[in-house]
Amino acid sequence: MLFYFRISSAVLLVALFFAAGCAIRNPIRPLTAMIVRSGDLALAGNAAMERGNWDEAEKKLKEAIRLNPDEVETRLNYAEILWIVGKRKDALTVLYEAAEQSSKPAEKSRVAASAAEKLLVLEQNDVALSWAEQCVREAPLEYRGWWLRARALMRIGNEYDKNGEREAALKFYSDSCESFYRSLAYQPPERELLPELATVQMQMSENEHALATWQNLLRLYQSGDEPINAICAKGDTLALLGRVDDAAGCFQTAAAREPNNIAICLRYAELESQAGRVEQAQQILSRANCIAPNNPAVLNLATKIQGNNKSR
């Protein structure tokens, strides 16, 4: 009898325990559900981004962040959407919040890079530089931070140049070049980086180095696929080095590729005139006049070439 009572008591206690357990709310279950729901919304928002449905992407990513504010990746994507739809101030605010949330070096680096890129677009170059340098600190063996640092320094140098402070500008240009070189060591997209490096080299009057950079860029393309602006930039660099014939050859190639481009025709004619081939220059201008009759730039250059020819 005593044994039966003990068993019954034990069963009763177990039953009461489970009954109480059902009554007690599990604090982990709703938290897990929120995280799962946030993940689903983030995936849906990313899919909407890929489709170009910005409104849907913005709504879903915003809700995903509300449910799980610790997910840095979602904040990064949300900032991109806000930037795309023109809410630039809000995008930067989201990135600044993401910077506070992030704890891993990879996350910090990505947030800093995104902020630096956007601040460069807004021409807030000094602030962009500080974010680029944070990106370098977090990921010194990746190209992006060094590249962003180089771009920010180049733009700051441009500001000093415009204000007539050439010596200060050269210091920033030099530092910019060094950062471009550091970036090149980590396999960046060279087709995008090399034009910027060549530009800062020309700003420093290091035209031989700039020429080598333009040539390296053009080697990345198959013959006939080279970008016109790079061909023209190489031509302008050759002209600065006094190699007028070679420069004219670059613009001849460019004019053959884009025969209706008046700016290229004018530069080609100018270089042909400088090389002493006045008749060729006049023929180029005649074709340009057919493309754009009575264009003031064409008429002015024709008058200038004719006057120079008479004075010889």
pLDDT tens digits, one per residue of 222-261 = 999 999 999 999 999 999 999 999 999 999 999 999 999 9
pLDDT of residue 3: 39
Which of 73, 101, 129 delimits the end of a domain?
A: 101
Evaluate if residue 29 carries a pLDDT over 70: no
47-104 pLDDT tens trace: 888 898 889 988 888 888 888 888 899 999 999 999 999 999 999 999 999 999 888 9
User: Is 268 part of a structural domain of the chain?
Assistant: yes
User: Is 163 part of a structural domain of the chain?
Assistant: no
pLDDT of residue 149: 98
Q: What is the rounded average pLDDT for all residues in the chain?
A: 89
pLDDT of residue 309: 66
Which of 101, 123, 158 delimits the end of a domain?
A: 101
114-170 pLDDT tens trace: 999 999 999 999 999 999 999 999 999 999 999 999 999 999 999 999 999 999 999
On whether the CB atoms of residues 235 and 247 are closer than 8 A, the answer is yes
pLDDT of residue 11: 42
Evaluate if residue 291 carries a pLDDT over 60: yes
On whether the CB atoms of residues 136 and 146 are closer than 8 A, the answer is yes
User: Is 12 part of a structural domain of the chain?
Assistant: no
How crowded is residue 41: how many other Cβ atoms within 10 Å of its Cβ? 21
pLDDT of residue 247: 98
User: Is 61 part of a structural domain of the chain?
Assistant: yes
CA 292 to chain centre: 35
pLDDT of residue 115: 98
User: Is 65 part of a structural domain of the chain?
Assistant: yes
- Residue 36 token pair: 């799962």
User: Is 257 part of a structural domain of the chain?
Assistant: yes
Q: Which residues of 76-88 are buried (b: 16+ CB within 10 A; e: fewer)?
A: bbbbbbbbeeeeb
The radius of gyration computed from the CA coordinates of the chain, to the nearest angstrom, equals 31
Evaluate if residue 34 carries a pLDDT over 80: no
User: Is 32 part of a structural domain of the chain?
Assistant: no
pLDDT of residue 30: 57
Evaluate if residue 300 carries a pLDDT over 90: yes
pLDDT of residue 39: 73
Instruction: Give the separation between CA 200 and CA 237, rounded to whole angstroms.
Output: 12
Instruction: Give the separation between CA 268 and CA 283, rounded to whole angstroms.
Output: 11
What CATH code is carried by the domain that includes residue 256? 1.25.40
110-128 pLDDT tens trace: 999 999 999 999 999 999 9
On whether the CB atoms of residues 155 and 147 are closer than 8 A, the answer is no
Amino acid at 155: R
User: Is 28 part of a structural domain of the chain?
Assistant: no
Please give the biggest Cα pair distance in the chain.
134
Top pLDDT among 53 and 29 is at: 53
Instruction: Give the separation between CA 293 and CA 31, rounded to whole angstroms.
Output: 72
How many domains are contained in the chain? 2
pLDDT of residue 312: 60
Range of the domain at 92: 52-101
Label residue 15 by pLDDT band (50, 70, 90).
very low
pLDDT of residue 50: 86
pLDDT of residue 31: 57
pLDDT of residue 310: 63
